[in-house]
Amino acid sequence: MLNRPGAEALFRALCLVALTIPLAMLLVLLFHTFSEAYPRISWEFIIGYPSRKPALAGLLPALAGSFYLMILTGLMALPIGLAAALYLEEYAAPSALTRIIEVNINNLAGVPSIIYGLLGLELFVRAMSLERSLVAGAATLALLVLPMVIITSREALRSVPFSYREAALALGAEKWRTLLRVVLPMSLPGILTGLILAMARAIGETAPLITIGALTYIAFLPDSLQSPFTALPLQIFNWVSRPQAEFQVNAAAGIVVLVVLLMALNGLAIWLRARLQRRVYW
């Protein structure tokens, strides 16, 4: 064997540089945004309504819209995604058709979100005439995250050891009761983590909401499923596209709020996973 002095250190250094580049860029971006946003971040900004005067404009309708969207998306995506995962993982016989469905779900997870926006526009806004409403937006986002929910739920179901299913079956349980009472409680941490990450993805999405025609300037809070709505990324997009420099500051402040929200959601997923897993004693 030929031993090249320094080759080890050189390779290691190359890998470290590769790691540093994206981290440094992210830090620069965050620092830039935070320092620009800092003077604008205040309670008034968060609970304020949009305004033509940048200094008075606030975020509340967008924040509320994002919140409702997130909840509705989760409520729609969880039952459908979980039931689909249960079918694929527990009931579907391995066949060519099952494999085609599996491959396509994995592919759907990678389809650009604007395509889902076009689907939502045609299906929910026009065909089902839901207009540019909260429920149409949530349904579109639910479609978008559904593959993700199905995939993470399947992984969670698969992680439950066979011996516990066997124990339930040997007690005379039908399969559906085994799934509901033994397998689901054990896979819940994984399923919920997947759901929260999917909801985090949903509230960061802009393209599908623009495609279905969600408004970017809304001066009131959504009060029903049929209400028109706006969302954080839309509000940010709206402010960025304004010519006045003060609105750019608003946009930066909006980005900070969105980033904090996303980090909080990811933190919640981690916390929930750890906490629920402590209830599952292996």
Q: Rule CB under 8 A: which residues touch another protein?
A: 163-164, 166-174, 177-178, 181-182, 185-186, 279-282
Q: For residue 229, give the H/E element and its range.
A: none
Q: How far is the CB of 277 from another protein (least distance, A)?
A: 10
Give the nearer residue to another protein in terms of CB position, either 52 or 279.
279
Select 26 or 180, whichever has its Cβ closest to another protein.
180
Query: How many other C-beta atoms are found inside a 10 Å radius of the C-beta of residue 237?
Result: 18
Rounded to a whole number of angstroms, the minimum distance from the CB of residue 189 to another protein is 10
Q: CB-wise, 22 or 172, nearer to another protein?
A: 172
Greatest Cα-to-Cα distance within the chain, rounded to the nearest angstrom = 73
Identify the three-state secondary structure at position 223: coil
Query: Which of 161/267 has CB closer to another protein?
Result: 161
In angstroms, what is the minimal distance from the CB of 54 to another protein?
53
The minimum distance between CB 275 and another protein, in angstroms, equals 14
**Residue 90 Cβ, how far from another protein at the closest point, in Å?**
12
Which residue's CB is nearer to another protein, number 112 or number 185?
185
Q: Record the tokens describing residue 199, joined without a space.
A: 């909801």
SS3 194: helix
Toward another protein, which CB reaches closer, 19 or 167? 167
Distance in Å, CB of 150 to another protein, minimum: 22
Instruction: Give the phi and the psi of residue 115 in degrees, each rounded to 5.
Output: -65, -40
How many residues in the chain?
282
- Closest distance between another protein and the C-beta of residue 166, in Å? 7
* Tokens describing residue 119: 């689907």
Instruction: Report the C-alpha gap between 212 and 267 in whole angstroms.
Output: 30
CA dist., res. 183 & res. 176, Å (int): 10
Strand blocks (E) in 21-61:
none
CA dist., res. 85 & res. 83, Å (int): 5
Considering the complex, state which of residue 187 and residue 235 has its C-beta at the smaller distance from another protein.
Answer: 187
Angle between helices 7-37 and 245-279 (to 10 degrees): 120
- Report the distance separating Cα 59 and Cα 254, nearest Å: 7
Q: Is 110 helix (H, G, I), strand (E, B) or coil?
A: coil
